[in-house]
Amino acid sequence: MDFDSIFDQHYPPLVRYCHRLTGDGDVAEDIAQESLVRLFDREVTGTEAGMRSWLFKTATHLVRDRYRVETNRDRLLMENPFRPSGPESPVIRLERAEARAHARAALDALAPRDREILLMRYAGFSYKEIAGAIDVAATSVGTLLARAERRFAEVVTEAGRKAI
């Protein structure tokens, strides 16, 4: 089947289903579109019923993932509320700039793979995404990340000793 016929056949009921799950029409459309994009990206084939099942299952997982992210974000905002403050003093601005420069220097001192792992993880990448990017098993990412964090801490500690 071609994209247009699958889209025309499955998109409206998929949007309705997602709308019932989320209560938000815009979010429902986004999730339905993402499900269809994934269907074609992964080149899913099979019977009509099988593709329909795959689309609805994928949409359900996307809704759950979105809910988890929103719940986590809300929890983090409750634990660390945003408190607007006055203008930043020049001293604080200078201290922040120095801290960023030290962190950048420490990152630059790491091996490229350690630097990539740390930057991807703290940019919000999942272990699976990191594994795909650096071509390792997802089960190895935790160990590699812990080692990279340890090496980063060692570089920062050593730089602090040299500064004294």
Percent of all residues in the chain with a pLDDT value above 70, rounded to a whole number: 98
User: What pLDDT, on a 0 to 100 scale, did the predictor assign at position 122?
Assistant: 86
Give per-residue pLDDT as tens, 30-47.
999 999 999 988 888 888
Q: What is the 3-state secondary structure (H, E, C) of 81-148?
A: CCCCCCCCCHHHHHHHHHHHHHHHHHHHHCCHHHHHHHHHHHCCCCHHHHHHHHCCCHHHHHHHHHHH
Nearest-CA neighbor of 55 among 140, 141, 63, 70?
63
Give per-residue pLDDT as tens, 90-112.
998 899 899 888 888 999 999 99
The answer on pLDDT for 140 being more than 70 is yes
The answer on pLDDT for 1 being more than 80 is no
Domain residue spans in the chain? Answer: 3-79, 90-158
CATH class of this structure's domain 90-158: mainly alpha
Contacts 24+ apart (CB under 8 A), 66-71: 66/22, 66/27, 66/31
User: What pLDDT, on a 0 to 100 scale, did the predictor assign at position 164?
Assistant: 56
The answer on pLDDT for 86 being more than 80 is no
Q: How confident is the model at residue 85 (pLDDT cuts 50, 70, 90)?
A: confident
Q: Which CATH number fits domain 3-79: 1.10.10, 1.10.1740, 1.10.3470, 3.40.190?
A: 1.10.1740
User: What pLDDT, on a 0 to 100 scale, did the predictor assign at position 42?
Assistant: 87
Give per-residue pLDDT as tens, 50-82.
889 999 999 999 999 998 888 888 888 888 887
Identical fold for domains 3-79 and 90-158, yes or no, is no
User: What pLDDT, on a 0 to 100 scale, did the predictor assign at position 163?
Assistant: 63
User: What pLDDT, on a 0 to 100 scale, did the predictor assign at position 3?
Assistant: 77
